[in-house]
Amino acid sequence: SQTIHQWPATLVQPVGSPLSLECTVEGTSNPNLYWYRQAAGRGLQLLFYSVGIGQISSEVPQNLSASRPQDRQFILSSKKLLLSDSGFYLCAWRNVGTSGRQFFGPGTRLTVL
């Protein structure tokens, strides 16, 4: 069966510090991968998605970047965090060629102080 991992679970970082969040999927090959952010009082906002190694699509202009160095690994990064980057970051995957159903990881709670 497929599982999705995210780490760390929680993170407190100062403004201006770098960020690296990691997501890995097991039990499937060539998944589509997604990064979402969920801010308080707002819905899930798609940040990036990837349909293959090295292929990244950005949905909103922002202070963040994403990379996919391996088939089942998706990384969210920032060189300098802003206060507005605080939120709950969720990674998701789905099988190519199937329906739109996406499966979510446990998430990372990021607080920027």
Partner 1 sequence: EDKVVQSPLSLVVHEGDTVTLNCSYEVTNFRSLLWYKQEKKAPTFLFMLTSSGIEKKSGRLSSILDKKELFSILNITATQTGDSAVYLCAGQGGSEKLVFGKGTKLTVNP
**Residue closer to partner 1, measured from CB, 2 or 17:** 2
Q: Kindly give, in sequence order, each residue whose CB lies less than 8 Å from that of residue 63, ignoring residues fewer than 6 positions away.
A: 78, 80, 81, 82, 84, 85
Per CB under 8 A, residues contacting partner 1 are 32, 34, 41-46, 49, 51, 57, 59, 90, 99-107
**In the complex, what is the shortest distance from the CB of residue 38 to partner 1, in angstroms, rounded to a whole number?**
9
Chain-centre distance for alpha carbon 11: 14
**Residue closer to partner 1, measured from CB, 14 or 97:** 97
**In the complex, what is the shortest distance from the CB of residue 9 to partner 1, in angstroms, rounded to a whole number?**
9
**Residue closer to partner 1, measured from CB, 59 or 84:** 59
**In the complex, what is the shortest distance from the CB of residue 15 to partner 1, in angstroms, rounded to a whole number?**
26
Could you tell me the end-to-end alpha-carbon distance of the chain, in angstroms, rounded to an integer?
38
**In the complex, what is the shortest distance from the CB of residue 101 to partner 1, in angstroms, rounded to a whole number?**
5
Q: Kindly give, in sequence order, each residue whose CB lies less than 8 Å from that of residue 14, ignoring residues fewer than 6 positions away.
A: 81, 112, 113
